[in-house]
Amino acid sequence: MSLFLYSTEFPEPLPTAQFQLLLDLLPGALQQKVLKFRRWEDSHASLLGKVLLRLALESSGYPSDLSRLHYGEWQKPGLPQGPEFSITHSGNLALCMLNTSGRIGIDIELLKPLAFEDFKDQFTEHEWTAIHIAPAPLDAFYRLWTAKESLIKADGRGLGIPLQGLDLSKGNTFLLDGQLWFTRELPIYKGYAFHFTVEGMDPPPIQRIQLSPERLLELSEGWARF
């Protein structure tokens, strides 16, 4: 198993020409998905997440044609013959994680004020207690939330799995429908909560690649247009 984590930060909108050059790297259907967002933050996150996936595939020796992207029964994105990947974004960060052996799910959330009491029904009683006795309850909420989200994304059924049935407050491993999962927090992005989940085993060290959007554009100059 090899894990690669690609990330980029976009504190402000890209110049129109740069945005268009990156957009042109995607097939038409994905371009339309990017352009449907009204907020620039959402369109940039959607675009950069897909470009990070292209780079991850290209760098790992896999076909990088994203027209091969398909969506399963529960709308989990995938590629024929792999590898497994997961994309997430929040605030001004976009991330893509590639797993060369087995399923993967990642989730990141900006630590911002939130009336998290509204989410009580998504947690077990034990988790809810753990949140409220924590020194920083809001941070504890986000940590457990991203752990749960990374697990259901890795499994592939998403919200088809009731969150209130998952208690992730007792350790890093979880058995779901006979499958063993390993969930880990990565406190590497200041001001964010971030978890990833892989199936089967304690994962190896992660290879991290952090790039600016401008550097992404430079690296993409030799790629074929989608």
Cβ contacts of 104 within 8 Å, gap of 6 or more: 3, 84, 85, 86, 97, 98, 154, 196, 197, 198
What was the pLDDT predicted at 224? 61
Q: Which CATH class is domain 105-199?
A: alpha beta
> For residue 47, how far is the Cα from the chain centroid?
13
CATH tag, 1-102+205-226: 3.90.470.20
Is the model's pLDDT at 222 over the cut of 80? Answer: no
What was the pLDDT predicted at 132? 95
Nearest to 55 by CA among 171, 223, 225: 223
Token pair of 207, please?
A: 């290879």
What was the pLDDT predicted at 226? 53
Provide the whole-model pTM.
0.94
pLDDT digits (tens, 9 = 90+) for 11-20: 999 999 999 9
Is the model's pLDDT at 154 over the cut of 80? Answer: yes
Q: Are 106 and 88 in contact (CB under 8 A)?
A: yes
Instruction: Give the mean pLDDT of the chain.
Output: 92
pLDDT digits (tens, 9 = 90+) for 190-212: 999 999 999 987 788 899 999 99
List the domain boundaries for the chain. Answer: 1-102+205-226, 105-199
pLDDT digits (tens, 9 = 90+) for 32-64: 999 999 999 999 999 999 999 999 999 999 999
Query: Hey, do 1-102+205-226 and 105-199 end up sharing a CATH topology, with the first three levels equal?
Result: yes
Rounded to an integer, the average pLDDT of 113-139 is 94
